[in-house]
Amino acid sequence: MAKSEVKTSLLDNMIGVGDSVLLEPLTEHTFLENLKKRFDHSEIYTYIGSVVISVNPYRHLPIYTPEKVEEYRNRNFYELSPHIYALADEAYRSLRDQDKDQCILITGESGAGKTEASKLVMSYVAAVCGKGAEVNQVKEQLLQSNPVLEAFGNAKTMRNDNSSRFGKYMDIEFDFKGDPLGGVISNYLLEKSRVVKQPRDERNFHIFYQLLSGGSEDLLKRLKLERDFKQYNYLGLDSAEVNGMDDAANFRTVKNAMQIVGFMDDEAESVLEVVAAVLKLGNIEFKPESRVNGLDESRIQDKNELKEICELLGQDQAVLERAFSFRTVEAKQEKVSTTLNVAQAYYARDALAKNLYNRLFTWLVNRINESIKAQTKVRKKVMGVLDIYGFEIFENNSFEQFIINYCNEKLQQIFIELTLKEEQEEYIKEGIEWTHIEYFNNAIICELIENNTNGILAMLDEECLRPGTVTDETFLEKLNQVCAIHERFESRMSKSSRFLNDTTLPHNCFRIQHYAGKVMYHVEGFVDKNNDLLYRDLSQAMWKTNHMLVKALFPEGNPAKMSLKRPPTAGSQFKASVTTLMKNLQTKNPNYIRCIKPNDQKAPHAFTEALVCHQVRYLGLMENVRVRRAGYAFKQPYESCLERYKMLCSQTWPHWRQGTRDGVKVLLTELRIPAEEFSYGRSKIFIRNPRTLFELEDLRKRRLEDLATLIQKIYRGWKCRTNFLLLKKSQTTISAWTRRHFQRKKYLHLKSVTVLIQSYIRGWKARKLLRELKHQKRCEESATTIAAYWRGTQARKDLRRLKEAARRKHAIAVIWAYWLGYEVRREYRKFFRANAGRKIYEFTIQRIMQKYFLELKKKLPSQSPTERTWPARPYLFLDNTHTELKRIFHLWRCKEYRDQFTEQKTAIFEEKLEASELFKDKKALYTNSVRQPFHGDYLEISKNPKYQKLNGAVEEKIVLADVVNKINRANGKRALRIFVLTKSKFIIADQKSGQIKSTIPVMDITSVSVSKQTDGLFAIHLKEGSTAAAKGDFLFTSDRLIEIITKLYRTIFFKTNQKINVEINNEFLVQFNQDKVCVKFIQGAQKNGNLPACKRKNNRLLEVTVP
């Protein structure tokens, strides 16, 4: 059996009627009563056919939960009680499955719930369409565009705390699967006048308050703002704070939303800068100043505010100031500059603020579009959501109302067109004859407003562009001439005398009979608002800024692009965008949501009938119902109809096996319903009067009751019988089971008793047998045991005897041995006493020494001559031996060490030893030298071609060759020299060229002097009178001082067999020419590393600064 699904219908449990088309009789009164009844029962949605009427509940209703979304998902429109979700679902499925682009048109007056409705539709679609990371991001961006636009485009008004002050149309784009790809937003006519002035008890746009309340101290400081609303003239103070609205929290939401939508941080900052600048513009005040020529001029009162604005906008202050004081008019080639008076200056200021904000808003919309636009080029399906201002009839209606109402006329027009078209198409499809329907077509009103030659908008444009003085009055005069005869136009001054005496129509007004009622417009401000003038000086000033965003907002300020042509007027711009919108909507399948505001107090549960009646009228809802039920009030597919009413006819109940159309025919014929009440379409039955439908419903209800009784009766009988049969069956089963149970119990008892008796008897028999067997066995065993015991006793007796004999023999041997021992000891005692003591002593000593040497051998330290350790002495009496052994061992290992030396190495060590003797503990430099090997020949003169000549002159083997510093005797300066020492002489040569400077035989050297410090200065003293000593002693410095002097000392010793004197002192004398000069070492800071600094102080003193 197929899964039976409970088919529900809109008609189930209806409060009033869920679809107004079913109202009977249909009057305005019953219509309102129905709405009220439903509203009182929290049913805020009611249909007119496929149109949803939504009455704002002004309270949270639990009908937007995820469960509700699931309930309405994939259900037919009339299956459940009316809900905005049903419409959204229908639209979405039609888009996804039938590939029809959709638009959702939401109308109603301010506060009626349009914006909420549009958000509900969007959130429903978001909930039911595809999922996945990418799709979710698109959804999130689309949804988050709302808070941003609301912050900048919404404001608190008398009617609505969050009123949208702009029209919004959003196309949501989907791919073939129905997953969202992106969107495009269009905005219409922001109410920019609100920026500079708000009606009483209303607020400026939310963003201003949000910024001041929610901006961090740091941000406000950057924007040069103060937190206090009172500081700003543009912020109406009447209701700066709105109940239940947390501006600061909203500011965070907006910033977050901007981030999600994709604004860069610096973009967001730029936007806020413009907002701050607009706010501050309101604080610029002007004062009059009379000029000699009698003209009034204006001056800015406090330039500080202007300065800050210019800083915010990256403006030149002088440029902006000038733009507030002058106006340049250009005509052909001429440029005329006129000064502005105070009123004009204020006008210019406000115009700038309004324009700046309006353009910023448009920029925001474009910027959001850039972020949310679909990334692919594949064909897209589109769902448009239009949230636009509804009809407005105020006490004082101006240009804005005129424009808004014009837009609504257009919407009504396409509503009529599309509804009728749809209705007609259905009739044709179903093959039912189309009867002409009388309805009011508002094309004539649209014509009155938008006709290109004599429409009101065209007249207004013509007036605005005309040379000469143009005022609102001249405009009205013109209207009076051109439109007077129009049947929908009323004016007091029109030549037609119809309204000459109508005192309800003032002279400065005209009245239009809109489809939704008459509206009287005051002409004041029409011309100005249509012109929407911003002095060119201001736009040029704005363009000159280096603030990229502001510059982009005023492209016309670019002198290169300047044109003398006037920008299009506000009216013609709006008309153009409305035309585009209408064209767009006409290509789509429309879905209507008509919002109604139940009271003016924003209060829940209150339903002001007069107010609703007014809205019902101007929304044309009655008209709507009439069109819907023009031919037939109700239509339904045959399947649904048969399913619902098949119980009313015996032939169709419970099953009808043939075609559903025939089934319905049989059903209706049997019910004797008059034939004119029906038409049979191809797939649907059309019912002319709601009354008939309700009769059917009544019959169904009664029949259902009967059926219920019948079902109940049969069910009860069946239940009782089933119960009885069950009882009977159970009883039999139970008794069978009981009997079986008792028999079984008895049998088991008998069985166990038998087994018990059996086992006792078997046990007794077995024990008897066992006893007999045991006795037999014991008799056999006892004989063997007795024999064994007897043999044992005999054997033990023999053993005892043998043991006794052996013990006696042994005792005799022991006693004999003792006796012999005693005899021998007595004999030898006398010999033993003479020698044994010494022998034992020597033996002991020998053992000890042997042990000592063996252990020492094991513990000997390493062979290194520098090793100092020696094992501890084991016995006190070996003290001297131990020390001696240590000394001998040391000498031996030193010898071993020396024996390894080659001759060359011995020489090196001798040299090192010599150096040690000469300098150790005497000169501080010595310690450094210990580690340095003494190479001697550092220059390898023989191999260096540069020193060829020098090499030639040396002849002998080189002992040492190195570069040293020679100290000038006269001034203490240093010069690099080659120092070569051979066996018999030393040579001083130029370091660069190798040119020999002096050759001194070593025999001429008497002594050498050095300091005690770490420096490398040394003096070589020469024999007085020798040729070498002509100029005096030599002073050198070298890092290898120790090596040089050691080698010199040894060379001289080998040559002369004499040891020269090496003087180590911090003060010594040298012989320079004829003078004896004292070389004195002093401690001081060092400039050039380790090199000593020498300074010739006077004739007698040369000071050497050492570290």
C-alpha triplet 227, 233, 239: angle, nearest 5°: 70
Q: What minimum distance in Å lies between the beta carbon of 106 and Mg ion?
A: 9
Q: What minimum distance in Å lies between the beta carbon of 26 and ligand ADP?
A: 26
> Are 612 and 598 within 8 A, CB to CB?
yes
The answer to the question of residue 612 lying near ligand ADP (CB under 6 A) is: no
Q: How far apart are CA 203 and CA 134, in angstroms?
A: 39
Per CB under 6 A, the list member of 9, 102, 141, 164 interacting with ligand ADP is: 164
Peptide bond before residue 25 is cis, with ω within 30 degrees of 0? yes
Beta carbon nearer to Mg ion, 114 or 912: 114
Question: Candidates 111-119, 223-231, 255-263, 1080-1088 — which segment interacts with Mg ion by CB under 5 A?
Answer: 111-119
Per annotation, catalytic residue among 16, 18, 108, 111: 111
Q: What minimum distance in Å lies between the beta carbon of 189 and Mg ion?
A: 13
The answer to the question of residue 540 lying near ligand ADP (CB under 6 A) is: no
Tell me which residues in 49-68 interact with ligand ADP (CB under 6 A): 56-58, 60-61
B/e letters for 241-276, b = 16+ CB within 10 Å, e = fewer, are: eeeeeebeebbebbbebbebbebeeebeebbbbbbb
Q: How many CA atoms lie within 13 A of 1068 on its CB side?
A: 21
Instruction: State the DSSP H helix or E strand holding residue 247, giving kind and residue range, or none if neither.
Output: helix 247-261
Question: Candidates 71-79, 109-117, 957-965, 1042-1050 — which segment interacts with Mg ion by CB under 5 A?
Answer: 109-117
Give the x-and-dash track for 505-524 against ligand ADP (CB under 6 A): --------------------
Give the x-and-dash track for 111-130 against ligand ADP (CB under 6 A): xxxxxx--------------
Alpha-carbon distances, residue 136 vs 131, 730, 743 (angstroms)? 6, 61, 75
- Radius of gyration of the CA atoms of the chain, in A: 63
Q: What minimum distance in Å lies between the beta carbon of 66 and ligand ADP?
A: 16
Per annotation, catalytic residue among 183, 214, 384, 390: 390
CA dihedral 7, 10, 14, 15 (to 10 degrees): 150
Backbone torsions φ then ψ of 633, nearest 5 degrees: -75, -30
> Are 386 and 105 within 8 A, CB to CB?
yes
Beta carbon nearer to Mg ion, 595 or 1017: 595
Question: Candidates 103-111, 140-148, 624-632, 817-825 — which segment interacts with ligand ADP by CB under 6 A?
Answer: 103-111
Is 163 noted as a catalytic residue in this protein? Answer: yes
Tell me which residues in 291-320 interact with Mg ion (CB under 5 A): none
Tokens in use for 954?
Answer: 């040396």
Q: What minimum distance in Å lies between the beta carbon of 302 and ligand ADP?
A: 39
- Of ligand ADP, Mg ion, none, which one sits near residue 113, judging by CB under 5 to 8 A according to partner kind? ligand ADP
- Of ligand ADP, Mg ion, none, which one sits near residue 412, judging by CB under 5 to 8 A according to partner kind? none
- Of Mg ion, ligand ADP, none, which one sits near residue 58, judging by CB under 5 to 8 A according to partner kind? ligand ADP
- Of Mg ion, ligand ADP, none, which one sits near residue 112, judging by CB under 5 to 8 A according to partner kind? ligand ADP
Beta carbon nearer to ligand ADP, 199 or 837: 199
Is 110 noted as a catalytic residue in this protein? Answer: yes
Peptide bond before residue 66 is cis, with ω within 30 degrees of 0? no
Q: How far apart are CA 714 and CA 654, in angstroms?
A: 15
Per CB under 6 A, the list member of 121, 374, 505, 595 interacting with ligand ADP is: 595
Q: What minimum distance in Å lies between the beta carbon of 710 and Mg ion?
A: 55
Size of the site for ligand ADP (CB under 6 A): 18
Per annotation, catalytic residue among 54, 81, 163, 494: 163
Q: What minimum distance in Å lies between the beta carbon of 116 and ligand ADP?
A: 3
- Map residue 1105 onto helix, strand or coil: strand
Beta carbon nearer to ligand ADP, 210 or 1013: 210
> Are 199 and 232 within 8 A, CB to CB?
no
Give the x-and-dash track for 925-944 against ligand ADP (CB under 6 A): --------------------
Per annotation, catalytic residue among 81, 110, 358, 1037: 110
Q: How far apart are CA 270 and CA 314, in angstroms?
A: 11
Alpha-carbon distances, residue 191 vs 155, 165, 197, 277, 948 (angstroms)? 10, 5, 11, 19, 104
Is 111 noted as a catalytic residue in this protein? Answer: yes
Q: What minimum distance in Å lies between the beta carbon of 152 and Mg ion?
A: 14
Phi-psi region of 755 (alpha: psi -120 to 50; beta: other; left: phi over 0): alpha
Q: How far apart are CA 1102 and CA 1081, in angstroms?
A: 9
The answer to the question of residue 160 lying near ligand ADP (CB under 6 A) is: yes
Q: How far apart are CA 660 and CA 648, in angstroms?
A: 15
Q: What minimum distance in Å lies between the beta carbon of 603 and ligand ADP?
A: 11
Size of the site for Mg ion (CB under 5 A): 3
List 1034's β-bridge partners, or say none. Answer: 1020
Q: What minimum distance in Å lies between the beta carbon of 159 and Mg ion?
A: 10
List 338's β-bridge partners, or say none. Answer: 327
Tell me which residues in 519-548 interact with Mg ion (CB under 5 A): none
The answer to the question of residue 108 lying near ligand ADP (CB under 6 A) is: yes
The answer to the question of residue 604 lying near ligand ADP (CB under 6 A) is: no
Q: What minimum distance in Å lies between the beta carbon of 513 and ligand ADP?
A: 25
- Of ligand ADP, Mg ion, none, which one sits near residue 108, judging by CB under 5 to 8 A according to partner kind? ligand ADP
Beta carbon nearer to ligand ADP, 64 or 934: 64
Q: Pick the closest to residue 115 from 127, 129, 104, 126 (CA basis).
A: 104
Q: How far apart are CA 95 and CA 179, in angstroms?
A: 11
Per CB under 5 A, the list member of 9, 20, 46, 115 interacting with Mg ion is: 115
- Of ligand ADP, Mg ion, none, which one sits near residue 38, judging by CB under 5 to 8 A according to partner kind? none
Give the x-and-dash track for 145-184 against Mg ion (CB under 5 A): -------------------x--------------------
Per CB under 6 A, the list member of 81, 110, 652, 1046 interacting with ligand ADP is: 110
Per annotation, catalytic residue among 20, 50, 160, 1037: 160
Instruction: State the DSSP H helix or E strand holding residue 519, giving kind and residue range, or none if neither.
Output: strand 517-522
The β-bridge relationship of strands 334-339 and 1067-1072 is unpaired
Beta carbon nearer to ligand ADP, 113 or 590: 113
- Map residue 294 onto helix, strand or coil: coil
Q: What minimum distance in Å lies between the beta carbon of 254 and Mg ion?
A: 17
Per annotation, catalytic residue among 164, 270, 692, 1011: 164
- Map residue 1083 onto helix, strand or coil: strand
Per annotation, catalytic residue among 115, 146, 591, 624: 115
All residues at 6 or more sequence positions from 400 whose CB lies less than 8 Å from its CB, including other chains: 189, 191, 193, 392, 529
Tell me which residues in 1088-1107 interact with ligand ADP (CB under 6 A): none
Tokens in use for 1020?
Answer: 């070589």
Is 392 noted as a catalytic residue in this protein? Answer: yes
Is 160 noted as a catalytic residue in this protein? Answer: yes
C-alpha triplet 687, 54, 689: angle, nearest 5°: 15
> Are 677 and 689 within 8 A, CB to CB?
yes
Beta carbon nearer to ligand ADP, 202 or 695: 202
What number of other Cβ atoms are within 10 A of residue 849's Cβ?
Answer: 13
Q: Pick the closest to residue 1015 from 1072, 1079, 1078, 959 (CA basis).
A: 1079
> Are 948 and 962 within 8 A, CB to CB?
no
Phi-psi region of 187 (alpha: psi -120 to 50; beta: other; left: phi over 0): beta
Q: What minimum distance in Å lies between the beta carbon of 41 and ligand ADP?
A: 15
| Residue nearest to ligand ADP as judged by C-beta position | 113
List 1101's β-bridge partners, or say none. Answer: 1078, 1098
> Are 169 and 388 within 8 A, CB to CB?
yes
**Which residues belong to the active site?**
110-111, 115, 160, 163-164, 390, 392
Residues that bind Mg ion (CB under 5 A): 114-115, 164
Residues that bind ligand ADP (CB under 6 A): 56-58, 60-61, 108, 110-116, 160, 162-164, 595
